[in-house]
Amino acid sequence: MRKTAQPKLEQLPTEQLNPASSDLDLKPSLEIARIINTEDATVAAGVERTLPEIARAIDWIAQALANRGRLIYVGTGSSGRIAALDASECPPTFNVPPSTVQFVMAGGVRALSKAVEANEDSRELGMREMRKKKPTKKDVVVGIAASGRTPFTVAAVEYARKAGAKTIAVTCNPDSPLENAAELAIVVETGPEVVAGSTRMKAGTAEKLVLNMLSTGAMVRLGYVYGNLMVNLHQKNSKLTERAITIVARALDTSREQAREALQRAGRDVPVAIVMAKAGVSREKADKSLQAARGHVRKAIAAAQPLTTLNHRGHRDHGDAQR
């Protein structure tokens, strides 16, 4: 990792004045909303330019999780809160343990609701907090900082990389210390903010979009999504129970009543219900197949499919299961 000079904050693209929002304080509410909306519309295009790097990151994360490693986000301020949001949404969405996707944030959990800006400047704290996570070569650590220069985040990523973890930078300014600290950089150049320097706006939106892709993409690769259905959800309230019925009905192309019955036979377990119906097997067989496939629904269907006939080449015919 080569050392680069710390860029001056006022020189960063995200800190520049945005001509599109000049005299913003003189605008009526509708015009303020229109200006913000117009600027926000540019973010997706910036993310699109980084898709090759995002795809590579998804592969790294999926491989790490498949090998019982972890995805660990690290950030401060708005970036840290966005990271914490993505990490906290993974267990209810994909039914993975909270330890699978974690976050490290300057100031700890209390910084989620109260700014603790001073901690951002401490490299020592960044290394200390990452050291507590005990990163290894099985893990992927993603550092998020719009500026790309936050000492806490840069130091945490450097520590993780030295410990053998795969490291990824997510930032909105090119040629930054964070980009240099990580093995892979996702640099979404969002440019000047509507409110100069308020990187919770376009830069924050870009970070949220990228983290959505990283976690969701990895979970899809692991088979926790069937087709485009969120099959691994927890049914902890009436809304989620109704959603589970809808998911099973769509997966099996059947009525809601039949889906409800399928769920009951499967012990209210959505993946088990789908594997049972698709492969035509018992609950016990479906459950074992899912365990063997480590939750990958489509692989579990293929594995559970009873041996029926051989095709003209003498290969096993999986019938309804997609390979």
21 is a domain residue: yes
| pLDDT at res. 320 | 44
- The single-letter DSSP state of residue 72 is E
Burial-class residue 274 by CB neighbours within 10 Å (0-12, 13-18, 19+). buried
Distance CA 1, CA 281 (A): 54
* Domain final position from 221, 238, 254: 221
| pLDDT at res. 112 | 83
Residues 35 and 167 in one domain: yes
Q: According to the 3-state scheme, what is the secondary structure of 235-264? A: CCCHHHHHHHHHHHHHHHCCCHHHHHHHHH
Give the residue numbers annotated as catalytic, written as ranges: 89, 120
Residues 188 and 303 in one domain: no
| pLDDT at res. 5 | 56
Distance CA 165, CA 159 (A): 9
Residues 204 and 289 in one domain: no
Residues 147 and 274 in one domain: no
For residue range 167-217, what is the model confidence (pLDDT) as tens digits? 999 999 999 999 999 999 999 999 888 899 889 999 999 999 999 999 999
301 near 275, Cβ under 8 Å?
A: yes
* Domain final position from 204, 221, 238: 221
DSSP tally for the chain: helices H, then strands E: 13, 5
Q: Residue 238 above 70 pLDDT?
A: yes
High-pLDDT (> 70) share of the chain, %: 92
Residues 217 and 245 in one domain: no
For residue range 268-307, what is the model confidence (pLDDT) as tens digits? 999 999 999 999 999 999 999 999 999 999 999 999 987 6
Which range, 62-76, 188-202, 232-246, is most confident?
62-76
Residues 174 and 189 in one domain: yes
| pLDDT at res. 119 | 76
175 near 11, Cβ under 8 Å?
A: no
Q: Residue 100 above 90 pLDDT?
A: yes
* Domain final position from 160, 187, 221: 221
Q: Residue 134 above 50 pLDDT?
A: yes
**Helix 202-221 with 29-40: angle, nearest 10 deg:** 40
| Domains of the chain: total | 2
130 is a domain residue: yes
69 is a domain residue: yes
Q: How far is CA 37 from CA 15, 24, 40, 48, 211, in A?
A: 19, 14, 5, 18, 21
H/E run at residue 285: helix 283-292
Distance CA 156, CA 186 (A): 17
Distance CA 151, CA 162 (A): 16
pTM for the full model? 0.87
For residue range 137-161, what is the model confidence (pLDDT) as tens digits? 999 999 999 999 999 999 999 999 9
Between CA 63 and CA 69, with CA 66 as vertex, the angle to 5 degrees is 85
Distance CA 103, CA 281 (A): 40
Residues 248 and 210 in one domain: no
High-pLDDT (> 90) share of the chain, %: 74
State the sign of the Cα–Cα–Cα–Cα dihedral 126, 105, 142, 177: negative
Distance CA 234, CA 298 (A): 19
Q: Edge-to-edge strand order for the sheet containing 166-171?
A: 101-105, 71-75, 140-144, 166-171, 184-187
Q: Provide the residue range defining the domain that includes 183.
A: 9-221
Residues 203 and 231 in one domain: no
Q: What is the mean pLDDT of the chain?
A: 90
Nearest partner of 105 among 119, 118, 91, 92, judged by Cα: 119
Residues 258 and 210 in one domain: no
3 is a domain residue: no
| pLDDT at res. 6 | 62
1 is a domain residue: no
Query: 314: pLDDT confidence band, cut at 50, 70 and 90?
Result: very low
H/E run at residue 101: strand 101-105
Residues 243 and 147 in one domain: no
Query: 15: pLDDT confidence band, cut at 50, 70 and 90?
Result: confident
Residue at token pair 């996707």:
101
Residues 125 and 241 in one domain: no
Residues 61 and 160 in one domain: yes
Q: How far is CA 186 from CA 17, 50, 137, in A?
A: 24, 6, 21
Query: 118: pLDDT confidence band, cut at 50, 70 and 90?
Result: low
